[in-house]
Amino acid sequence: MKLVVMNNKVLKIVLSVAFIALLLYCIWYVIITNTRSNDKFETESPVTMTIQQKAVATGKINPKEKIEIKPNISGIIKEIYIKEGDEVKIGQLLATIKVVPVVSTVNTAMQNINSAEIKLSNQKRVFDRQKLLFEQGVISKQDYESAETEYKIAKQNLNQAQKDYDIAKTGITSGLEDLASIQVRSTANGQALEVPVEIGDQVIEANTFNAGTTIASIADVSKMIFEGKVDESDAGKMHEGMKLKIIIGALQDKDINGVLTFISPQGKEENGAVKYEIKADIIIPEGVYIRAGYSANAEVILSERKDILAMREALMQYDGEKSFVEVQQSDGSFKKVYVKPGLSDGIYVEVEGISKKDKIKIWNSSDEDKSSRKK
């Protein structure tokens, strides 16, 4: 019995010693771990900088005004006198058209000539008779002059019917060569951006029922605009007159600026997002040639804060709705400090509540961050 009691006491002592040893080990491990943890974390200090909040619009470069030259008569292209890239002037001959007669139109014109000839023949007989009677003193001068007028009108109608026939058959008539519809001339000064027809192509006249075939597209390339689209969240912060930075893929080494001139009053849904069209006049630098159709992006500065204290937004942590950073103390430990974030550009954020001398824990540093800091 005494042996059993003695064994129980020894067991209790052993267990107590083991518990104390385990407790001391845990305390030692926590201390060592915390010390090593502090050594592992790198730090970064806030910087004074300018932060800009930007909206980016994707789009392309187009002429401010583009004129499409169309014929006013249908036919086949006989000659083309310009090519893409040529400078043209108002009134310059661009192309000529060979008219392909429409049988029904030509036939109608011929019938009109026949009718006009019959009326003229009849009116001539009336006039000759009235003239004779007037010379004999049978009718008044007024009756004679009335017959003479009707005779002259009949001659004019025949002349017009013959011209209509010539136009229907050839597209031109005597005395109207300078206004010939078979000659397609420029209506604007500028550069020929596109000549989409070739000799032998059939073209259709522009009229009330048909837009017509484009012979050439002409524009003043010294006046270019940016046309693009922005998200609805950015459109509400923009207004006409704002400055833009135009980034053209083909001219990335050129600094090109612009001025916002138009924001669409109505958005259009694209892939589940509402987009608004914008337009901006481009300020073309001297010696820079910008081609129509270039793909481009436009950066619009929505907000700007200069010479402010900022830090990388990735260093910020969150406690519910509150933002905080961990600032290194003199003993190497870190203390949680609540801060007030301000304007952000997506990488850096304006911050209040810390100083430029504070060292902020990089709690989520990657190997890429570390290597970049060593450099």
> Which of these CATH numbers, 3.90.180.10, 1.10.1740.10, 1.10.730.10, 2.40.30.170, describes 55-62+221-304?
2.40.30.170
Which residue is listed with tokens 């009109």? 112
- Check residue 40 and give its pLDDT: 67
- Check residue 375 and give its pLDDT: 43
43-54+307-372: CATH number: 2.40.420.20
Which residue ranges does the chain devote to CATH 1.10.287.470? 103-170
- Check residue 366 and give its pLDDT: 57
Distances (CA, A) of 355 to 45, 46, 110: 9, 7, 97
Phi, psi at 222, each rounded to 5°: -80, -10
Which residue is listed with tokens 């870190």? 334
Which residue ranges does the chain devote to CATH 2.40.420.20? 43-54+307-372
CA distance 350 to 355: 12
CA distance 52 to 54: 6
- Check residue 208 and give its pLDDT: 77
- Check residue 7 and give its pLDDT: 58
- Check residue 37 and give its pLDDT: 46
- Check residue 302 and give its pLDDT: 85
> Which of these CATH numbers, 3.30.70.270, 2.40.50.100, 1.20.120.420, 3.40.220.10, describes 66-98+181-219?
2.40.50.100
Which residue ranges does the chain devote to CATH 2.40.50.100? 66-98+181-219
Written as six digits, the tokens of 119 are 């009326």
- Check residue 371 and give its pLDDT: 47
103-170: CATH number: 1.10.287.470
Which residue ranges does the chain devote to CATH 2.40.30.170? 55-62+221-304
pLDDT lower than 70: segments of the chain: 1-11, 14, 28-40, 100-102, 170-181, 364-375
Long-range residue pairs from 160-163, CB within 8 A, at least 24 positions apart, any chain: 160/116, 161/109, 161/112, 161/113, 161/115, 161/116, 162/113
Distances (CA, A) of 90 to 72, 199, 288: 17, 22, 26
Decide if 349 contacts 343 (C-beta within 8 A): yes
